[in-house]
Structure 1
């Protein structure tokens, strides 16, 4: 008996199936989201570039010089520059004012996408539209296809709009004035016709007046001859007046010099007189003091004379007394021994000596008094009398000196006044001399002019006769002028205000626009080629690792970096082949011209190798999800590359991503190398090398992680090793198509 049963699934098998189902769901969700991500990101990046032009930098160079004509002044360059710089319109570039050289350098470097130049003669050319020699006013806009071809197209449209706007303004304003001027011209012709008629009437009257003028000129001829004779006599008299005035001027100058000298001398005399007055006053004061002293001495001497006489008598008596004292002292000294006292003896001896001295002194006084001559007392009285007389004379001298000083002071003041007035007189005489000289010169000119007048009146008389004949002819010509002006006024058209406005609007466009594109590419395809070439190289990297294992050549021995390079070599070789084939096809089959073929091929090789390395690293490190991220990364790069419109017109997210992704750098470099220039080339080389190094490092890390997971230090001898990420991917697929 045979029995059969079904084995129950183990818990491990259940978990594996559940995990496989979850993985399938994740893969399906990822695949479903790819179209959504691609379409939404790319659509978003191109959603509204025209209304984001205010992020695109551009330069305006204003070289215009303000001009004026017929009372109208224009400075279009300054006005246009202000409007562009201050514009906040979303569909306009963000303009900044540059110098010419600065703007050119900015355009070459890709700092700006367009340069609008307003030439020096723009305003004057705009004014010339209403003149006799109109010259179109021109604007120039310059772009660089090496930066972005479509930016040039947009700039051209903006420049054309600006030129059309300016042309409309200029036409409406100035051509309107011209047509309005036709009406004024019509009125002017009519007025001129009226004036010509009046002229004819006036010339007829002038003809009559010319006859009267001729008669008056005959009388003028006779009078001018008499005037010429009189002016000759006037010139002779003026010459004599001039000669006398010169002599008077010389005398006035001499008078002034003498008055100046008199004033100087009077000043000196006045100074001396003042000094004499001061000295005489001092002498008078001194003699008065002397007289007073002599009087006092005289009064004192009279009693002295009497006292001296009395003293003489008393001195004799004193002498006798002194002699007696001396004798008494001598006697006392002789009897002094009886006293017996040495001290008293000494005193007595001293008394005797003093008494002798008194005696001797009195004798001398008497002798002196006997020799004194008292006759001088009488002379002092005489001296007092003389001094009083001297004092009276000194008082008189002082009084005279004071009067002299006052007189000389008045003399000095008068001399100064005389000097001043004589100077004025000299100046006046000098002016008179000059005036007489001018009078003489004028008389000569009058004489000559009178002679010329006489000659001219003769000629005028002859001319007046001719004038009369000419006026007769003018009358006839003015009639013809009036007729012709009337005919001309009828031929000049007139316009109403509405007609003038209409003609202004349809007038020829006075503003022209010149476009210059640096590094111009021939076709739109040439402008889009950089974008599609970078995209093709990236897709080539993805395709290569769809068909090949990223770590197929890893030996599992030696340094991990060597294994990474060994695994990278097949992809690098494919990158070289793809690049060369793409380079040849784009030029040979599509017809794109390369401005720098060698540089472009080198950049394509670097970009292709870098893209291969990035795709290898993503798949080696993440497995099947790495392919998914490679697909997402390419759409992010496409949306951020600014391939058509400048990246500044993309939403902020893509502007932020642009500097961090490798493909936009490749696009910028390809564009410059195809069109010309070097915008972005150096940055592309740097960024792509950095990305290449990071990708190789990621691949090296994937190898290291694989070795750690396997618990080995080497990969063993089997050259075909399946990475853990790929094994997981293969187990998730029933067919195992991802297993290599």
Structure 2
């Protein structure tokens, strides 16, 4: 069955087969394009790639870390964000190279031998970035390389994020450990300061007691020195008594009185020495806790210095990392301030630790001096008692001598000998007491220096304790869960929400639909005549002739739009409301494209079809990626496919205006119809040299 429609470039009539072919052309084109490009993420398993794992696992804390194996598993297992994954094959270098050359593999991911070592090098002094190599086949299709690179980069990024989380979690837990250690060090410094205060108080009491001892021993030494010559005179008098006989009776009486007074003085001397011994015994002992604390500080001064210096160096390194990273957050600001305070207090702490041996030795020497001094005083008191007893005996002998000259004469020799011994003993007592006074003065001077040193130690330990407490309070503390959560956020601080797995996005369907309808309009006027061949002989108006050529093409275009929208709905399953608007835009676009293609063929002839093909190429070039040159994008935006594309996008995504797109298509339709009318009018006239055929 033929139709009253003219066929292009032939006199054969148009049949329903021709019309059906024109109708189905954009449907077939659209179905092929949608089937090929819509949602390629569901068919990633059509891409075959190889994995070559040359990684050598490392051992950390007696635990094997095979990161290459883990990355391989991550690539093979895929992601929850994609419905499918590449068809991965785990193989070796030779097979991968051969498969890449013969087309078996589209890409090869090679994990080098040092991958695990480099990925875990952040825990050492020489960190190194782990690198994997992606090699693609030279004859890959256009998007295969991008798909492989995207999936591989995503897997590597996820593994890098996991490694960063582990590293940061250890850092945050290290903050907690450092804070605990600083707290313990601060408590120890508090104890040291308290012990130094006690030492200073006890030493001050000791200095007071020793000062009193020195003050009392000095006149005692003077009296003992004066006692020695008197006893010598007694010895001389005893000799004269022995020689003088009865004349010595009166002198012996005097001697008895002087000996009694001397005995009383010696007893007083013994009592004074005993009092001094008791006073010395009352000097408080240095607390054992102070001695132990000073010995512990002296014994561990090097370890304490290393710990304090290491802690200060750790804080300085953390502060330097914060400054280098430009981080102005609260944690970094507190770490920098804490580092400055620690470094300011470090010289004082180091000086105290350097003098800890001398302080401990002085405390021990002072502790030993007290008992020795008490023993010396007690011995001196006993000697003074013996002197008093001896002088008392002298007094008794003198009294007996007063009652009888002969007995006195007989006993004067023994008296002289005893007096000589008493004189020598008194001189020794004087020397001992003088030494005691000198030693007590030296002990007082040393105790004063010890008090000053103890006060300085207490002040320095107090400053150290205050600084360490401040440091411990400023350093954040985290539980395991808090450290894990914070590490997860810091390792991946920015997350993009709303990114889908569709590699072509929501605009792919409108682009393919517009392209299919444009090709349908082009195909329609490959089969149909744009301008009737009877234009010269027809009596109808040019506009009516142009409309007769457009009407069947417009009907075919409308049907094409509806069919293409149906194919899209089968593939994408949009909501009915969205699809209804989309189908309406497709129908209007099919009619407008029919009018524009008619005008191109009517005005330019066969070149018009070439121009129509160029318009299709521009639509594809500007619709795939935004990196096209600006002039090319502007040129494509001026084509009739642009309002159709923007209207379809607006119908499916609510981005843009469907009304504006329909207005644009209507303007193109009117301009194309005017151009067709002008072309028809031009064909209705012929030069005089070429009359019309009979």
TM-score, length-scaled by structure 1:
0.32
- The structure with the largest alpha-carbon Rg is 1
TM-score, length-scaled by structure 2:
0.33
